[in-house]
Amino acid sequence: MPAKVLINGYGSIGKRVADAVSMQDDMEVIGVTKTKPDFEARLAVEKGYKLFVAIPDKERVKLFEDAGIPVEGTILDVIEDVDIVVDGAPKKIGKENLENIYKPHKVKAILQGGEKAKDVEDNFNALWSYDRCYGKDYIRVVSCNTTGLCRSLYAINSVADIKKARVVLVRRAADPNDDKRGPVNAITPNPVTVPSHHGPDVVSVVPEFEGKILTSAVIVPTTLMHQHTLMVEVDGNFSRDDVLEAINKTPRIITVKADEGFTSTAKIIEYGRDLGRLRYDINELVVWEESVNVLENEIFLMQAVHQESIVIPENIDCIRAMLQMEEDNFKSIEKTNKAMGIQ
Ligand code: NAD
């Protein structure tokens, strides 16, 4: 029997997770929820998803009825029929849903990166913490930036032990559909304090990096991707080729060359469009090959993260781990990647 999955919060992350679940042969979408009867709600129904109202309230249900969008009921009408909920609600609301809905109804739940590490049992990345999250009830799939860092640090750590990592993150200001956020004409240190929260977030997945990783971040006026520059001190003897080989061997990382036209995040997104990817998603972490450099025992590289899609395959593997559907993380990764067409 395929695992029954409810997506609570059909926004940027939620709709992508719904489509990714639909692509797997061992899980199915039992329903998706919306708070408002907008075009996304209408499209969800047109795609064949059963739609439920996220807020259990008669007035809310009436809004959908008045808009002519059919709903099957509220979240409370479906919550106990599912094996797991993937929460895609905005930052901080995931925690409220955990306390008010998932825990009282004893349903396993995955929260997203906008929530706090301390509010869940553990923090998920398919390469690092699959085994730890196996069979657990409440897990957070870490943010897009943390997922990207976890993948490249995994590759580097497979070449030589990491002693110290310094990372500068250049963050996109808003998602392409977001008409409320900025800046439109500024570079904003965010957070202005150093270190930023991204280092501790990596440590929530990889506790052995405690005290070794330090990050700082700025926000810039772009919507397409985040960009990171990594400087990583390691122990051991290795060459640039060894590092590139490790990057190429690590699942869900691709390398691109500026020399071939990948001169910016804009060009990487164009590649996603040309590949015909749904919503031009690039689920892979993208490393610029020319940026990979080794100076004595220090590794440098630059990478790009498609914020809306990098965490989607992680949610799928997290479902398999929490429901104990596959013991081996690499088998789950391979299965997810194959179904989603990830390189
Ligand atoms: P979003 O605003 O695009 O979507 C959130 C959806 O949840 C909307 O459809 C909204 O109507 C719905 N919602 C509002 N209140 C709700 C409630 N009480 N219950 C259920 N649903 C509710 O947000 P998003 O960008 O998809 O972010 C969701 C989570 O994923 C956040 O924790 C965010 O930090 C995290 N995340 C976002 C990105 C990204 O770049 N967009 C990347 C990684 C992780």
pLDDT tens digits, 317-338 = 999 999 999 999 999 999 999 9
How far away, in angstroms, is 6 Cα from ligand 1 center? 15
What are the start-end ranges of the H helices in 26-92? 39-46, 58-66
Closest CA to 173 of 111, 113, 227: 227
Instruction: Give the pLDDT score at 236.
Output: 86
Give the span between the Cα atoms of 125 and 140, in whole angstroms: 9
Instruction: Give the pLDDT score at 237.
Output: 86
What are the start-end ranges of the H helices in 67-141? 93-97, 130-133
How far away, in angstroms, is 309 Cα from ligand 1 center? 13
Helix (H, G, I), strand (E, B) or coil at 312: helix
Residue with the nearest Cα to atom 11 of ligand 1?
A: 35
Instruction: Please report, in range form, the residues annotated as the binding site for NAD(+).
Output: 12-13, 114, 172, 307
Q: Determine if ligand 1 sits within 6 Å of the CB of residue 13.
A: yes
DSSP 64: H
* Ligand 1 atom closest to 147 (CA): 43
The residues assigned a catalytic role are: 144
Q: Determine if ligand 1 sits within 6 Å of the CB of residue 256.
A: no
Contacting residues for 85 by C-beta, under 8 A, at least 6 apart: 5, 6, 7, 8, 79, 97, 102, 107, 108, 109, 110
What number is the average pLDDT over the span 281-301?
Answer: 97
Pocket test for ligand 1, best of 38, 40, 86, 112 (most atoms within 8 A of CB): 112
Q: Determine if ligand 1 sits within 6 Å of the CB of residue 12.
A: yes
Is 8 within 8 Å of 54 (Cβ atoms)? yes
Percent of the chain with pLDDT over 70: 100
Contacts from 70-75 at CB under 8 Å and sequence distance 24+?
A: 70/45, 72/31, 75/6, 75/8, 75/33, 75/101
pLDDT (tens digit per residue) in 192-217: 999 999 999 999 999 999 999 999 99
* CB half-sphere exposure, 258, CA atoms < 13 A: 11
ipTM at complex level: 0.99
pLDDT (tens digit per residue) in 223-270: 999 999 999 999 988 999 999 999 999 999 999 999 999 999 999 999
Q: Determine if ligand 1 sits within 6 Å of the CB of residue 313.
A: no
What domains can you pick out in the chain, each with its CATH number? 3-142+311-340 (3.40.50.720), 144-305 (3.30.360.10)
How far away, in angstroms, is 141 Cα from ligand 1 center? 13
Burial bucket for residue 145 (CB in 10 Å: 0-12, 13-18, 19+): buried
Instruction: Give the pLDDT score at 343.
Output: 84
Tokens of 265: 């995040």
The answer to whether residue 111 scores a pLDDT higher than 90 is: yes
